[in-house]
């Protein structure tokens, strides 16, 4: 049973370009969460999605960042017009049921985004 798959593992972009990070949840999981870990800092929640719906985006920066989890295919975290401060490790997690079930979240190994 494959775990949470994130790609690419490493992504390099120049300032002003777009970054697209993909996350395929574990089989049977319909809940996806994105977290960001800035250098020398802890992980911060960004957004929680359930198939085709954004449930909680309270951790998302107000501009340039968006997330989707379509009916078919992986979840995508999109960063437009990247800046140096976007350099970080972005982690995706999934769970089979919603938070009220208190089931654990299963994490991928992240995408490390570097902005030149």
Partner 1 sequence: DAKTTQPNSMESNEEEPVHLPCNHSTISGTDYIHWYRQLPSQGPEYVIHGLTSNVNNRMASLAIAEDRKSSTLILHRATLRDAAVYYCIPSGNTGKLIFGQGTTLQVKP
77 interacts with partner 1 by CB under 8 A? no
Q: How far is the CB of 16 from partner 1 (least distance, A)?
A: 28
Contacts with partner 1, 94-113, as mask; x by CB under 8 A:
-x--xxx-x-xxxxxxx---
Q: First vs last Cα of the chain: how many Å apart? A: 36
Look up residue 15 and give its two tokens. 């300032």
Q: How far is the CB of 9 from partner 1 (least distance, A)?
A: 10
- Tell me how many residues contact partner 1 (CB under 8 A): 27
**How far, in Å, CA of 102 to CA of 116, rounded?**
40
3-class DSSP state of 2: coil
Q: How far is the CB of 12 from partner 1 (least distance, A)?
A: 17
Integer Rg of the chain from CA: 13
Q: Which is nearer to partner 1, 75 or 108 (CB)?
A: 108
CA of 34: how far to CAs of 49, 73, 93, in Å? 9, 16, 6
Residues near partner 1 (CB under 8 A) are 4, 31, 33, 35, 42-45, 48, 55-56, 58-59, 91, 93, 95, 98-100, 102, 104-110
């Amino acid at each position: 049973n494959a775990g949470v798959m994130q790609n690419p593992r490493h992504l390099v972009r120049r300032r002003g370009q777009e970054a697209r990070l993909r996350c395929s949840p574990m089989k049977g999981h319909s809940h996806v969460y994105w977290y960001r870990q800035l250098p020398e800092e802890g992980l911060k929640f960004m957004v929680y999605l359930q198939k085709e719906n954004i449930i909680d985006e309270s951790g998302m920066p107000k501009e340039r960042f968006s997330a989707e989890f379509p009916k078919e295919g992986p979840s995508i975290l999109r960063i437009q017009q990247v800046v140096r401060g976007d350099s970080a490790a972005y982690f995706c997690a999934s769970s089979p049921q919603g938070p009220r079930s208190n089931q654990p979240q299963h994490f991928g190994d992240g995408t490390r985004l570097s902005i030149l």
